[in-house]
Chain A
C-alpha cells in the first residue's frame, strides 16, 4: 500500500480490500519511524487520524462512500490551521505553540471528502517570506531529500515533498507563492500542482502574499493531484479571492488527439547539464504525442514584478511579528532582518508592479492561447546540498521568468519527475497552462506519465516494521 497511487488506493478501500484503519496505522508508523530522518514532520496527529480512520471504516462498511479520498491519510503543510489543540507553527520557532480554533477550509474540505489528517508537515519558516537563502531556515531543521540525504528537499513546502517521496503519506498539501510547491516536488521527484490563483480557499492558511499565495497538492502522480484538487477546490464565502465556480477534475477533458506544447526560447539557460539532458529526452516523448513549437514570452520584467509584490505584501502580512520582536527568534540569520529592506518599496511602486502585472497577464494569455501548455524544466538545478546557500529566484540569483510569470498571473502548473541524474537526484518537467486550465495541464502531465515510468521509481527508504495498531 505504500507508494500506491491514490486512484488504486481508493479502489482498494472502496472495495474493502484495504482497511482505512490498517492504512492509517501503517502511515502513522512510517511518519514516526522515518519522519525525523527527513525533518519532514512537525506534529503527528495520531488521535485525530485514528478517529477519522475508524469513522471512515464504519461509513464505508455501512455503504457510504464519499469518493476517491475516503479513508486515505495525508499530511498538511504546517501553515494550514488545524483545530483541537494541534499546533500550527508556520515553521517558525517563536510560533511553536500557536494554535487556532478552527480548521482551514482546505482541511475541512478534506475532512468532508473522508480523508484522514495524519500529520502537520515541516516547512521553511514563514514560507520563505523573510528572504531565506539556506536550507536550514526552519525550526525543524533543513528539509532532507529522501533520494540523497545530504541534499535539500526544497521549499518552502519541504516536508510535503519529502513525506510523499519517502512514502510517509500518500499525498500532502503544500502552498506556493513563488516556487514552494514546484521546488519540493521537483527536487523530491514527485508530482505537484500549483492551481490557478483562487481555485483553493486560503481561509485559515498563513498569508505570505495576498495576491500570490496558492494552496495545492503534492502526490505520486499528476492524476493523484487532480483527485486532491477536486476535493479542496471551490468557492468559499470566507475567502473573497476564490473562483465562484466549482472545479471538477475531468481526465477526459484533459486529453488531446495531438498536443501542442510551447517551448520558451532560452528555456534551458542556466540549467545544469543533467537537467538539460533529461529535458531533451522529455521533448522526444512529447514530440511523440504532439508538436513542440517555440514561443516567446512577452518582454516584461516578470521577476521584478514578482519580487516587488511579494516583498511589499510580505512586509505587511508579517508586520505584527516584526512589531512583537519575534523575528529575532527565527532560525536563519538573514530572516531576522531582511524584511526591513522592504520599507523602501513605496506605495506608488507597489501599485506600479500591480499594473505591470496586469499587462503581463494579458500578454502572456495571448501567447498561451496558441498552445495547450508551456513545457520547461521543472527546476533549473538539482536539489542543492544542505550546507550551502542556494541560488534563489526570490533573491535574483537564478533566473525563473516562467515561474515569476506563472505566479504573478496566477497560472496553473503541474510538475512531474522526468529523470534521475547520475548521482541519483531527480530532475523534473513542468507544464504551465492558461488560467483555469488545470484539466489541460493535468492531462498533459498524465499523457507524459503514461509514456514514462519515473513516477514509479522511489528513493531508497528504510523498511518500517508492520504497524501493530494503537499503542
Chain B
C-alpha cells in the first residue's frame, strides 16, 4: 500500500455551475476576485445540497401564494 490519499472525485455539478459563472462574469474579474467568488459558489452549492437532503412530499407547499391583482384590492380587504 502506498499510503497516498486518493484525489476526491470531481464534483461535476459544482464544476458545471462554476463554468457558467466564469462564462457570464469571468471577463470582468481579477484572479483574487475569481477565487473569492469560487468560494461563494462552493458555499451556495453546499447549502442547496443541505436543503435537497430534507425530505418533502407533494403536499409540502411554499407559504408564498399568488394574490390575483385587481386595482382597488381584493374582496374583503
Chain A residues within CB distance 8 Å of chain B: 131, 211, 235, 237, 240, 244, 300-301, 304-305, 307-308, 311, 333-334, 336-338, 340-346, 349, 351-359, 361, 395-396
B61 touches A359 (CB 8 A): no
Closest A residue, CB atoms, query B69? A240
> Please, how many angstroms separate the alpha-carbon atoms of A301 and B56 in the complex?
14
- Please name 5 pairs of A and B residues whose Cβ atoms are closer than 8 Å in the assembled complex, sorted by A: A337-B37, A340-B37, A349-B48, A354-B63, A354-B64
> Please, how many angstroms separate the alpha-carbon atoms of A337 and B29 in the complex?
8
A338: contacting residue among B37, B54, B77, CB under 8 A: B37
How many chain-B residues does the 8 Å CB contact rule pick out?
34
A349 touches B17 (CB 8 A): no
A355 touches B61 (CB 8 A): yes
Closest B residue, CB atoms, query A408? B63
Closest CB in chain B relative to A361 CB, distance in Å: 6
Closest B residue, CB atoms, query A211? B64
A356 touches B56 (CB 8 A): yes
Chain B hits for A351, CB < 8 A:
62
A240: contacting residue among B28, B51, B67, CB under 8 A: B67
Closest B residue, CB atoms, query A303? B47
Query: Which applies to chain A's interface (DSSP): helix, strand, loop or mixed?
Result: helix
Given contacts A300-B54, A344-B17, A349-B52, A358 and B62 within 8 Å (CB-CB): yes
Q: Which of B20, B54, B67, B73 has the most CB of A within 10 A?
A: B54
Chain B hits for A131, CB < 8 A:
40
> Please, how many angstroms separate the alpha-carbon atoms of A333 and B41 in the complex?
17
Closest CB in chain B relative to A319 CB, distance in Å: 13
Chain B residues within CB distance 8 Å of chain A: 17-18, 20-21, 24-25, 28-29, 33, 36-37, 40-41, 43-45, 47-48, 50-52, 54, 56, 60-64, 67, 69, 72-73, 76-77
Chain B hits for A352, CB < 8 A:
48, 51-52, 54, 56
Chain A hits for B51, CB < 8 A:
301, 304-305, 308, 349, 352-353, 356
Closest CB in chain A relative to B9 CB, distance in Å: 19
Chain A hits for B36, CB < 8 A:
334, 337-338
B37 touches A344 (CB 8 A): no
> Please, how many angstroms separate the alpha-carbon atoms of A355 and B51 in the complex?
10
A341 touches B41 (CB 8 A): yes
B45: contacting residue among A240, A334, A337, A344, CB under 8 A: A344
A344: contacting residue among B41, B67, B72, CB under 8 A: B41
B47 touches A307 (CB 8 A): yes
- Which 3 A-B residue pairings sit nearest by Cβ, starting from the closest? A354-B62, A341-B40, A344-B17
Chain A hits for B50, CB < 8 A:
301, 304
B20 touches A343 (CB 8 A): yes
Q: Which of A305, A338, A355 has the most CB of B within 10 A?
A: A355
Chain B hits for A354, CB < 8 A:
62-64
Closest A residue, CB atoms, query B45? A344
Closest CB in chain A relative to B2 CB, distance in Å: 36
B61 touches A341 (CB 8 A): no
> Please, how many angstroms separate the alpha-carbon atoms of A358 and B54 in the complex?
12
> Please, how many angstroms separate the alpha-carbon atoms of A60 and B6 in the complex?
80
